[in-house]
Each structure stands twice: as C-alpha cells, then as structure tokens.
Amino acid sequence: MTMAPTAVDVPSGLPAAISTPAPGDPRLSRLSLNQKTVDRWGVREVVHGCLRAGIPAVGLWREPVAAFGTARTARLVRDAGLRVSSYCRAGFLTGHDSTAALDDNRRAIDEAAEIGAACLVMVLGGLPEGSRDLAGARARAAEALALLVPHAQERGVRLALEPLHPMFCADRAVLSTLGQALDLAERFPVETVGVVLDAYHIWWDPQVDAQIRRAGPRIALFQACDWVLPLPADALLGRGMVGDGHIDVRALREQADAAGYAGDIEVEVFNADVWAADGDATVATLLRRHVQHVV
Amino acid sequence: MTMAPTAVDVPSGLPAAISTPAPGDPRLSRLSLNQKTVDRWGVREVVHGCLRAGIPAVGLWREPVAAFGTARTARLVRDAGLRVSSYCRAGFLTGHDSTAALDDNRRAIDEAAEIGAACLVMVLGGLPEGSRDLAGARARAAEALALLVPHAQERGVRLALEPLHPMFCADRAVLSTLGQALDLAERFPVETVGVVLDAYHIWWDPQVDAQIRRAGPRIALFQACDWVLPLPADALLGRGMVGDGHIDVRALREQADAAGYAGDIEVEVFNADVWAADGDATVATLLRRHVQHVV
C-alpha cells in the first residue's frame, strides 16, 4: 500500500518525465498556491514565488498577513497582479461563549475585504473539552455564523464553509460532509455563504458526486492535495502532493467545473516533508502535478 | 482537549466511585465482550473471563478460533452458555481477482455457522495499491458480496456489513457510512445481510440518527468504544474505553433500541494500553463503564 513518496517526482523507469510548465502556460490559468504548502514562506516570499512560477493566484493565511501587515499585503498582491483565492482562516464557533470568537471573525472578515480575497475559509470548530454533545456544538456554530453574515455582506466578503474530514470532527470541525455544509450554507444568500471543496476532506464520501452537483454556485473554492498512506502520527500533517495518493483529484475538479465552478484551484498541502523542502522545488513539483493530475 | 486516560477509572475528586456490577446484574444482560478488547486472551481465556465477570456473550475472532479449533470453540461456548454475538472478520472483497477472497469468505461463513455466531462481520476492503478508482472498488465488493449471499443463506449465517470510519476508506473499507451500508444491504434479504453499528465509525455522521431509524431490522450488531484524542500514530489503535472520549454511546444505543434492536452490545477496543493491561482489570472497568455510559 506504499505510494510514491511525497514531493519526489516521477520515478525513473517511467515514461518521459513531464517538464515543468512555464509561466504563461494556459494550463496554469486557474492555479493558486496556498501559502501553507510553502509554510516557511512569508507573504513577500509567496507572492514572489508565484510570480517566478507563473502562478496567477495565492491563498493567504492570517498569521503571516498580520506579520507583514494587512494594508501592505493588499498593496503587494494588487501590484503583483495576483488574485487572492482565499484567506485562511476563521471560524471556531462551537464554544459556549462565542463573544471573543465573533470579534475575531469580524476582524478576519475586515482583513479579507482589505486584501480582496475571493473568500474567507471558515472551519467551524470541534467539541468543547469533555463534551459529547455534537448537536449542541453544531447548533451553536450555526447561530454564531448567522451573527457574522450581516458583517460579511456589508464588507462584500464571501464566507466559505469548509467541511473537514470526519477524523477531525471531535477536535476541529463538527462540519464533516459537503451535504451538511450545504444544509447550513443554504440558510444564507449564495453570494455571502459558500462552501469549500477540499479534495482531502470530501473524496471518500459516497454522496460526493451528488453533493457537488447540488453545490453549484455555492462552490467558493476548490482545494487540492492527496490522501497518502500511512497516516502520520500528527493527522493534520498527512496530506500528500497531488498524484502521490489515492484521490482522483481530476475527477473531483471536473465535477466542480460541471457544476459551474470556474474559480481557482488552490493547492494546499500540510506535510512536514514538503515544508522542509526548498520552496521553489515544491512549487515546480506542484506545477507538474497540476498538469498531470488536475487540469 | 485531553481526556481522561483510557482504562483508568473515575479520577479521585469525583463523586463516589461506581462499584463493579456483579454477575447476574440485569444491566449486564446484553453485554458482550469482543475478544479484541483483551487481545492477549485466547478463546479459553475469554470464555472463562466472561463467566467470571457475568458477561453473557462474546465476540470471537478467526485467528484465535483457528488456533483453539472451531469445533472445540463451538463446544466450549455452548457448554459455557455464552451467546456468540459476532464472528470477526471476513470481507476484503475489493481486489481485482476475488477468487481467493471468496473461498476464504465461504470458510468464514462455515466457521460462523459452526460456532453459532449471531453474525459474521464483513469489512469490505480498501483501494488496491496505487488505485484511485473508488467506484470500481465499491462495485467489485458489491458483486463479490452477491456471490456470497447464497452460501450464507444456506448456512443460516447473517452477514453484517460494517461501515468503517472514513479515515479507513483508502486502506480498509470503501464502505464509509451507515447510509451507504444500508444501500448495499437492502439489495439482499434482511435475515441474511445486516449492518454493524460501531459507535467509533458512525458517531460523527450528521445523518446517523436518520440512518439508524432507517436501519431498523437490518441492525445485526451494536459495538461500543470511544473516540479519544489525540489520534495515535497507528490510527487503528486509537479507540478508548467507553466514557474516555467524545462519543455519546448511550444516545446511539438508545437510537438503535428505538429502531428495534434488542441484540448484544459488544465492547470492542483496539488500544495498545488496554491490551497491555491485565485482562480482568480491563473487564472490570468495562463493566463499570457499561452501566455508567451505555445502559
């Protein structure tokens, strides 16, 4: 069950290695680099890395944006001509007292507006410590979300609900399937609340085809990475480069397109080996994998 | 997010420790000990352990039964007056050539009949090495299952399809939700093909309440353990004793009962710390947790 190791390229012995697509290659037109894939790169490095590689969009995270400055980030990406496919991440709304979380989410909405992000990714949060009350946590998150929607509308920011793989249900997100995410999103206007299709989180779902069709204009973002075995000691860091594992990313991307999605395809890989690698080498692998396995 | 450590009892400081229910306690009338919870015990030890503790049913595994002898196991459990709540485990039907797997499954059916098991637990299998074709694997497993059903009918053995947690989709079971298991089971007669409700595998599912209601007479077995954090390095061994984690086992058990299930409640804990503990101590903890958190 061993797969090719992550971030290593086509093994020798296989037919002609794929060459790295050059800047301007039309197959890169919807590609986005999520900053987390090159975890050691700050805002400036990731923007310059995208420019060197010809990647037209970037997914940014709050912590590095705060370190670089929100206004400065906004200016840099605008001057670079990059789209900001997503701003990661807000949410964590399942606690019993959501006052602080709501304040923080409102700030995240303001920041997303300032940097011109296509969406703000929302991870709803897990169960409070010691709790077994899933229904309660889900209800609290839905109530808190309803309180954020007017602020998002006012700022013109789209909230993108991200169902996480069910193995994160207890500690990170009581939102586990695309169907469940759509049930929640559909309570709100489509332009303000959408969903994230992250291949890693949804690929196993026997209902995924039907739910992607249902999602249609609710699809705010498509994220790509792969499911590699074995799972690592830290389940958060188990994602592989597209092509190294068991997910048919192209099939999911085609389904999203068939449902009307024409936005960016953002590569987000949480993986200690990838993080340890040279950023430009990771980006080059990612470009090749994109043409081999995604578009 | 740290929970009480597995197999350790009520911490001091909490109100009056629960005493261990004695043999004959009516609250134990549906309890079953899955042999895997006391992994170092062979067939003889687990049968004697059940008798000492007043546990009226046992879930047995093929390897220790083979080591002890099938006919001898059948005699021992009959003489002991124990029910065999399940026989674990057959399946693994997703391969491209299922000839050997089908033969092995037919033998497992024969063994289950011989020891008088209430059901034979079926884990369907994951993706073949390097494969991304989930639909193909699911279709092959369904076809193979159809070939086994006549043999099971003839032997009077009920096949119990077990949906596994989606984190096992790639390597162990392309059957990931109760709804999906029912879609498959419902192609066959209810007395021959049922489903397993294992709290660990189904608790996170936003549709679990509705699907348990739907399952009704298809419920062949209820298994209990708990979801504890953090996930261990080996995801297979991450299960906690009931009461140590985030699953509301009682609520799920009550839903199964409301759907008409009156069979055994089998405790199955895959956990290296539990396996290292003294078997009788594990059983005593399990009895207390059963009255505290299940019945």
Q: What is the pLDDT of residue B278?
A: 94
Crossing angle of helices B279-293 and B43-53, in 10° steps, is: 50
CATH number, domain containing residue A111: 3.20.20.150
Q: What is the pLDDT of residue B230?
A: 87
Interface residues on B facing A, Cβ-Cβ cutoff 8 A: 1-3, 126-127, 129-134, 138, 165-167, 169-171, 176-177, 179-180, 183, 203-207, 227, 229-233, 235, 245-248, 251
Q: How far is A199 from chain B (nearest CA, A)?
A: 12
Interface residues on A facing B, Cβ-Cβ cutoff 8 A: 1-3, 126-127, 129-134, 138, 165-167, 169-171, 176-177, 179-180, 183, 203-207, 227, 229-233, 235, 245-248, 251
Do the Cβ atoms of B170 and A246 come within 8 Å?
yes
Cα angle vertex A247, ends A243, A252, to 5°? 110
Q: Which residue has the higher pLDDT, B26 or B17?
A: B26
State the total domains in chain A: 1
Do the Cβ atoms of A166 and B169 come within 8 Å?
no
Nearest CB to A176; choose among B127, B134, B204: B204
Residue B184 lies in a domain: yes
Q: What share of chain B is helix, strand, coil (3-state, %, to 5)?
A: 45, 15, 40
Q: Around Cβ B280, how many Cβ atoms within 10 Å? A: 14
Q: What is the pLDDT of residue B232?
A: 78
Q: Average of pLDDT values for A224-247?
A: 90
Residue B16 banded pLDDT, cuts 50, 70, 90: low
Mutate to test the interface with A, among B3, B204, B237 (most CBs of A within 10 A): B204
What residues of A are in contact with residue B170 (Cβ under 8 Å)? 1, 204, 227, 229, 245-246
Residue B238 banded pLDDT, cuts 50, 70, 90: confident
- A-to-B residue pairs, Cβ atoms closer than 8 angstroms: 95
Q: If you measure CA to CA, which chain A residue comes closest to B163?
A: A206
Instruction: Determine whether A149 is exposed, middle or buried from the number of CB atoms within 10 Å of its CB (0-12, 13-18, 19+).
Output: middle
Residue A12 lies in a domain: no
Question: B269 by DSSP, 3-state: which?
Answer: coil
Q: Tell me which residue has tokens 């034979």.
A: B120
Pairing of strands A226-227, A239-240: antiparallel
- Cβ–Cβ < 8 Å for B42, B67: yes
How do residues B221-233 score in pLDDT, each as one tens digit? 999 999 999 887 7
Residue B149 lies in a domain: yes
Please give the Cα distance from A252 to B8 (Å, whole number). 45
| Residue A95: pLDDT over 60 | yes
| Residue B15: pLDDT over 80 | no
Residue A272 lies in a domain: yes
Q: How far is B166 from chain A (nearest CA, A)?
A: 6
Do the Cβ atoms of B133 and A248 come within 8 Å?
yes
Nearest to B83 by CA among B284, B265, B289, B268: B265
How do residues B154-169 score in pLDDT, each as one tens digit? 999 999 999 999 999 9
Domain that holds residue A194: 26-285
| Residue A163: pLDDT over 50 | yes
Please give the Cα distance from B87 to B266 (Å, whole number). 11
Q: If you measure CA to CA, which chain A residue comes closest to B236?
A: A231
What residues of A are in contact with residue B232 (Cβ under 8 Å)? 233
Question: A136 by DSSP, 3-state: which?
Answer: helix
Q: What is the pLDDT of residue B10?
A: 43
What residues of B are in contact with residue A170 (Cβ under 8 Å)? 1, 204, 227, 229, 245-246
| Residue B79: pLDDT over 70 | yes
Mutate to test the interface with A, among B165, B169, B252, B292 (most CBs of A within 10 A): B169
What B2-5 contacts at long range (C-beta under 8 Å, 24+ apart), as own/partner pairs, is B2/A129, B2/B229, B3/A130, B3/B228, B3/B229, B3/B240, B3/B244, B3/B245, B3/B246, B4/B243, B4/B244, B5/B244, B5/B273
How do residues B117-160 score in pLDDT, each as one tens digit? 999 999 999 999 999 999 999 999 999 999 999 999 999 999 99
What residues of B are in contact with residue A3 (Cβ under 8 Å)? 130
Nearest CB to A246; choose among B131, B207, B247: B131
Rounded mean pLDDT of chain B?
A: 94
Q: What is the pLDDT of residue A16?
A: 53
Residue B18 lies in a domain: no
DSSP lists the bridge partners of residue A61 as: A88
Residue B8 has which token pair?
């350790």
Q: How far is B244 from chain A (nearest CA, A)?
A: 9
Residue A147 lies in a domain: yes
Q: Could you give the ipTM of this predicted complex?
A: 0.92
Do the Cβ atoms of B3 and A130 come within 8 Å?
yes
Q: What are phi and psi of B276, to 5 degrees?
A: -80, -15
What residues of B are in contact with residue A248 (Cβ under 8 Å)? 132-134
Nearest to A294 by CA among A237, A256, A260: A256
Q: What is the pLDDT of residue A232?
A: 78
Q: How far is B21 from chain A (nearest CA, A)?
A: 24
Residue A294 lies in a domain: no
Do the Cβ atoms of B166 and A170 come within 8 Å?
no
Please give the Cα distance from B156 to B143 (Å, whole number). 20
Q: If you measure CA to CA, which chain A residue comes closest to B129?
A: A1
| Residue B213: pLDDT over 80 | yes
Q: Average of pLDDT values for A5-15?
A: 45
Mutate to test the interface with A, among B127, B129, B134 (most CBs of A within 10 A): B134
Residue A16 lies in a domain: no
How do residues A53-79 score in pLDDT, each as one tens digit? 999 999 999 999 999 999 999 999 999
Q: If you measure CA to CA, which chain A residue comes closest to B172?
A: A1
Q: What is the pLDDT of residue A4?
A: 41
Q: Average of pLDDT values for B159-184?
A: 98
Q: Average of pLDDT values for B260-264?
A: 98
Do the Cβ atoms of B167 and A127 come within 8 Å?
no
Q: What are phi and psi of B243, to 5 degrees?
A: 105, -15
Q: Which residue has the higher pLDDT, A272 or A126?
A: A126
Report the percent of chain B where pLDDT is more than 70.
95
What residues of A are in contact with residue B179 (Cβ under 8 Å)? 206-207
| Residue A12: pLDDT over 60 | no
Residue A2 banded pLDDT, cuts 50, 70, 90: very low
Please give the Cα distance from B98 to A41 (Å, whole number). 48
| Residue A275: pLDDT over 60 | yes
Angstrom distances, CA of residue B252 to CA of B259, B262, B265: 11, 13, 11
Report the percent of chain A where pLDDT is more than 90.
89
Q: Which residues contact A169 (CB under 8 A, 6 or more apart)?
A: A126, A127, A134, A176, B203, B204
